[in-house]
Amino acid sequence: MPLDTYDKIMMLAKRRGFIYPSFEIYGGVAGFYDYGPLGSRLKLNIENLWRSFYILKDNCIEISTPTITLYEVLNASGHVDEFTDLTVDCKKCNQSYKVEDIINNISVDEAIKENKIKCPNCKTNLKDAYPINLMFSTKIGFGKVRDAFLRPETAQGIFIDFHLLYRYVREKLPFGVIQVGRGYRNEVSPRQGIIRLREFSMAEAEVFIDPENKTHPNFNKIKNLEIKLFDNIKEMKISVEKAVDKNVINNQALAYYMILTQEFLYSAGVDPEKFRFRKHSDNELAHYATECWDAELFSERFGWIECVGIADRSAYDLQSHIDSSGKDMYALRKYEEPKIVDVKKIIPKMNELGPLFKGNAGKIKSILENLEMEDSKKITINFDGKEVEIPNNCYEIVETKEKKIGDKFVPHVIEPSYGIDRILYCIIEHSFFEGKEKDEEYKILKLNPKIAPIKVGVLPLTNDDRLVSIACELDDNLRNAGIETYYDDGGSIGRRYARMDEVGTPFCITIDHDSIKDNSVTIRDRDTTKQIRKKIDELIPFLKEKIDN
């Protein structure tokens, strides 16, 4: 069987130092990969390009929070209950499978009961299916331990700091907060190589907006751009403005981050022909989302792969954390002028709440104080995911006048969430070309110069000391100017060009004997193979211009 594109790329990736299987000397484990010297640089370049879109163009702030996350956080967010896969074990060999990997389009319970589905490994019948939680769990401390998980998303670290971040931006909406880092998902039995990892790199933005005003301040700048949508039936190209007007996309903010995503992916080197946004149907929405679009990239082996999810998480997460922690995580919609209003204030009585709610009394007191009192005589609050009725001897209601400067509300969240590893793989696949020249096979990665791990190959034509000395000095100067180089003096010049082409280096500089006299060198372009002559003095600005555009 001939190798497919995925096999070819993963072989190249391993041979040339992009991607290695993790723990290989101990037999490896599915779902884990290492980034080698070139892969790690490519990944950093993609992440930094991403940051430039979110920090420069969109003025987001960035934070960095632990990967180990308290049980309480992920219980409040719904992950303890909802972040699950339906799983099934073999009765004989005990191998576990994700149900959707082995069963299609038929009722699971029925299929298992009637033994229609056998273990793919040993062909025995399967036990009953059951949901398993996909978070890696661990414990903090000794003796009195705290339960914790490795984070399934970086988002929760942002949500639980909302009150601090809202103060940092001086209490103005909208504002976006990004986080770049590791996420974890203990897949039952991952079988798709680098596409389905148990530990992966994410880049997420949580943009907090006023639910009554889901516009975006930069919408006008991008409204005429065309966006590529797929509604599960057909693809269409449509202007962002039209998509919002016709309610294909629910609101401006969601549409803005979709087009930002499209621009970022094109800029990183994704083939526009292998890109589209697909809308989630209602039954595939995550537990926290009201609308979600996936940016999908096409790969030869796996078909359309979800690489970015852009979700409207509404008030789900902040409200959940308010309910569970009792803390004030509201935003304020200020009036032009303060108003004097009649209010019914709830005055909690700790001497009644204490015996009734024990350790939770303080939290409940704080929830009651923040409650907007309405007409009903009965007070029911959300606490730890449960409805709790507060007996009326536990509080007093006082009617009073109060100066009010605005309305409190729970912001909504638009979340663009990027899977960096999948994007990286797809960029390599979209950049991969191979062919034959003079009976020699060659492979080229046409990586965008912006993200290429090596920008310039520095190649002295011979080992002549004078050439080597010019080449070394040039190499130093380029590196000091922040241009990643690879110095290579081994083998024929054609062989060296080929080595650089294969890892996506956009430019090669050859230092030859004329360089000694004319202080000039030859620059070869990877994609055209055209060569031009340039003064050494002019190289750095020339290359910077080429790399940044």
Secondary structure (3-state) at 306: strand
Which of 150, 227, 331, 461: binder of a copy of itself (CB under 8 A)? 150
Residues 6+ apart with CB under 8 A from 245: none
C-alpha to C-alpha distances, 406 to 172, 175, 299, 516, nearest whole angstrom: 13, 19, 51, 73
5 binds a copy of itself (CB under 8 A): no
Minimum CB separation from a copy of itself for residue 259, in Å? 19
- Subset of residues 89 to 108 that bind a copy of itself, contact rule: CB under 8 A: 89, 94-96
Contact 303, 320 (CB under 8 A): no
Minimum CB separation from a copy of itself for residue 52, in Å? 9
Side chain identity at residue 538, one-letter code: E
- Subset of residues 472 to 531 that bind a copy of itself, contact rule: CB under 8 A: 479-480, 490
Minimum CB separation from a copy of itself for residue 549, in Å? 13
Secondary structure (3-state) at 9: helix
Minimum CB separation from a copy of itself for residue 81, in Å? 17
Residue ranges with strand state E in 410-538? 412-419, 432-437, 440-445, 456-460, 485-487, 507-511, 520-525, 531-535
Strand partners, 306: 296
Contact 239, 227 (CB under 8 A): yes
Which of 9, 117, 126, 188: binder of a copy of itself (CB under 8 A)? 188
Q: Name which of 145 and 350 has its Cβ closer to a copy of itself.
A: 145
Which of 3, 7, 11, 24: binder of a copy of itself (CB under 8 A)? 24
For 348, the token pair is 């909690």
Residues 6+ apart with CB under 8 A from 43: 35, 201, 420, 421, 424
CA distance 512 to 224: 50
For 65, the token pair is 């929070």
C-alpha to C-alpha distances, 434 to 260, 274, 350, 437, 502, nearest whole angstrom: 31, 18, 75, 10, 9
Q: For the chain, first and last CA: distance in Å?
A: 41
Minimum CB separation from a copy of itself for residue 17, in Å? 4
Q: DSSP secondary-structure letter at 289?
A: -
Which of 3, 11, 37, 109: binder of a copy of itself (CB under 8 A)? 37
Q: Name which of 3 and 29 has its Cβ closer to a copy of itself.
A: 29
Which of 8, 118, 182, 279: binder of a copy of itself (CB under 8 A)? 182
Minimum CB separation from a copy of itself for residue 285, in Å? 25
Tell me, by CB under 8 A, how many residues bind a copy of itself. 77
Residue of 137, 154, 182, 186 whose CA lies nearest to 29: 186
Residue of 189, 240, 187 whose CA lies nearest to 216: 240
CA distance 347 to 361: 14
Residue of 223, 73, 243, 275 whose CA lies nearest to 158: 73
Q: DSSP secondary-structure letter at 121?
A: T
Q: What are phi and psi of 413, to 5 degrees?
A: -130, 130
- Subset of residues 357 to 416 that bind a copy of itself, contact rule: CB under 8 A: none
Strand partners, 123: none
Which of 105, 142, 273, 303: binder of a copy of itself (CB under 8 A)? 142
Minimum CB separation from a copy of itself for residue 449, in Å? 17
Which of 3, 11, 29, 398: binder of a copy of itself (CB under 8 A)? 29
Minimum CB separation from a copy of itself for residue 61, in Å? 4
Contact 510, 459 (CB under 8 A): yes
Question: Among the candidate windows 60-68, 307-315, 343-351, 518-526, which touches a copy of itself by CB under 8 A?
Answer: 60-68
Question: Among the candidate windows 212-220, 280-288, 319-327, 387-395, which touches a copy of itself by CB under 8 A?
Answer: 319-327
Q: Name which of 89 and 241 has its Cβ closer to a copy of itself.
A: 89
Question: Among the candidate windows 11-19, 280-288, 349-357, 456-464, which touches a copy of itself by CB under 8 A?
Answer: 11-19
Which of 3, 4, 11, 66: binder of a copy of itself (CB under 8 A)? 66
Q: Name which of 41 and 526 has its Cβ closer to a copy of itself.
A: 41
456 binds a copy of itself (CB under 8 A): no
Which of 8, 20, 278, 360: binder of a copy of itself (CB under 8 A)? 20
250 binds a copy of itself (CB under 8 A): no
301 binds a copy of itself (CB under 8 A): no
Which of 40, 192, 215, 250: binder of a copy of itself (CB under 8 A)? 40
Which of 45, 77, 186, 261: binder of a copy of itself (CB under 8 A)? 186
Which of 108, 165, 315, 388: binder of a copy of itself (CB under 8 A)? 165
| Strand-strand pairing, 61-62 and 175-184 | parallel
Question: Among the candidate windows 34-42, 225-233, 238-246, 442-450, which touches a copy of itself by CB under 8 A?
Answer: 34-42
